[in-house]
Structure 1
């Protein structure tokens, strides 16, 4: 969960504002409220613009591509692609790394794309049992030639490649978790909140 830091407060502000807009849009209009339609529409537009500006800021702040949406990682985690990663300072066995990641509400990294990972020797969530390799999420893995005929070992990520090692060896490990996805549009009106990455600052006007 996000800690209530400045970033966490802004996220809560976005969610409260989005829910306010949704409730306002779905609430029935009483007969005596027609005269206030113009004022209400103005307030709604102001709220939408505020949310748009916040989403625009966060999309750029993460350095994410437009298709990734506004994704936020917990404090001290790093967004790479569409997942959040963290390398704890501790070292230990594969099982110790697995338990540590689980205690953080995450799991050992399931690396589908290793292009962005640093040059570290770290445990990842891949383990062999009776010559069958599986990720910690129970998905299968087609073993590379270097990992064939390995009965009961674990895998480290080294120099952007995979190497097997005894599960009792000591290494750092990489934890992985899902990012927090900010809403991309308000319910009911279909208006998209687009990112404007050319200006990574909060702006007063909508796109």
Structure 2
């Protein structure tokens, strides 16, 4: 009985001793670890500041280089050289003072240039409405004749084959209207004969009319590209 009490007393006395004692290394570990975290945070902040400063300096340098290019006419010089190259290869214009200030008119492949227009003549045949739709797909429209000189030119290139042009007379309107919305000026050519229904105009040796559902070749026109 006495031995049991003595053992219990010893065990009770030893518990506070084991829980309250720590080694010196364990006591220093917590503050030393916190100090390294603070150093890492300061280093990260300093690195961010340096990065921001580098970005600002780089942006200022790029802006300065851009200003030099503009002041020296770099963009304009490149554009002028490119235009001169196109004129030399597509317009047969040499680099001289007179051609530098002039414009060059260029048409797409298979289109003919005459004055201020590009012309495309079909090889197939379609109705008038189908012909106008085809011109639309080519970013153009059916031909609108503006003067007698142009009409003579068209007669020459059509080679006596009938071609639809952008002139029609609807039954309800009872007048010849170009696809641009303007009315036919009969001083250019006389009003063509027309059928009882809708009539559309074509050109052969002269401007004539036919039923719009008849199939003919057609002529598209568009503005040239200016260089």
| 2:33 corresponding residue in structure 1 | none
Matched, 1:181 2:213: no
Match of 2:175 among 100, 111, 132: 132
* 1:140–1:56 distance in 2 versus 1, CA, 3 Å: farther
| 2:121 corresponding residue in structure 1 | 87
| TM-score, length-scaled by structure 1 | 0.57
* 1:153–1:45 distance in 2 versus 1, CA, 3 Å: closer
| 2:108 corresponding residue in structure 1 | 74
* 1:95–1:47 distance in 2 versus 1, CA, 3 Å: closer
Query: Cα distance, 1:45 vs. partner?
Result: 7.0
Q: Deviations over 1:82-125 (max 9, x none)?
A: 11111122201111111111111111111222122212310011
Contact 2:193–2:209, Cα closer than 8 Å, also in 1: no
* 1:52–1:140 distance in 2 versus 1, CA, 3 Å: same
| TM-score, length-scaled by structure 2 | 0.52
SS at match of 2:91: helix
Gaps of 5+ in 1: 1-27, 183-207
> Which structure has the higher relative contact order (CA within 8 Å, separation 6+)?
1
Contact 1:131–1:148, Cα closer than 8 Å, also in 2: no
CA-atom RMSD in angstroms: 3.6
Larger radius of gyration: 2
Looking at secondary structure, tell me which structure has more helix per residue: 2
Gaps of 5+ in 2: 1-62, 94-98
| 1:115 corresponding residue in structure 2 | 152
Deviation beyond 6 Å, 4+ runs, structure 1: 41-47
Contact 1:109–1:125, Cα closer than 8 Å, also in 2: yes
